[in-house]
Chain A
Amino acid sequence: AQSVTQLGSHVSVSEGALVLLRCNYSSSVPPYLFWYVQYPNQGLQLLLKYTSAATLVKGINGFEAEFKKSETSFHLTKPSAHMSDAAEYFCAVSVGRSGGSNYKLTFGKGTLLTVNP
């Protein structure tokens, strides 16, 4: 079974500082990896996804993540934080069932990002 661990339930950065949100996964087969963002009282919005193409994935709002198989990691970064980035971020892994007909998402516990002025 697959699993996701997000290190740090709460990360606080200053506006303009580097954002680094950590995600490690466990999967017995090649995974598909996702980062979602959730703003208060809203659903989840996809930031980016890795599906076995380029290991460095660029997403929306200036975010990017790098898939490192040797470290089983998929950390999310953004060079310069903006106040509007304050939200909760979820890393998720998806592994197909036999036959590849379905992929369910397994989520990490989430990391709440606070951006200080």
Chain B
Amino acid sequence: NAGVTQTPKFRILKIGQSMTLQCTQDMNHNYMYWYRQDPGMGLKLIYYSVGAGITDKGEVPNGYNVSRSTTEDFPLRLELAAPSQTSVYFCASLGGGSFGTGELFFGEGSRLTVL
């Protein structure tokens, strides 16, 4: 069981370039999330989805876009990359129903540097 898989693990972008971070889960979870973690800092929620076709903004959505065409996939797109988007990005999915008893499963992270 692969869990949550993110690609790529590392990427260097030039300012103004665009890219997509891929996230796939094989646990049939409805809820999925994208977080960013800046060096020495906690997690900030970028976007989340409660099911295929449904997405919503988190705390820091500016400069990002998401889509959710299937239950399994939740890609995060960066448009016009900026140095402020240098961070480690984590995708997660929620198991076991609502947060009353559920557990978040995280991918290994994608380290992005914008120069």
Same complex for A and B? Answer no
List residues of B whose CB falls within 8 A of some A CB: none
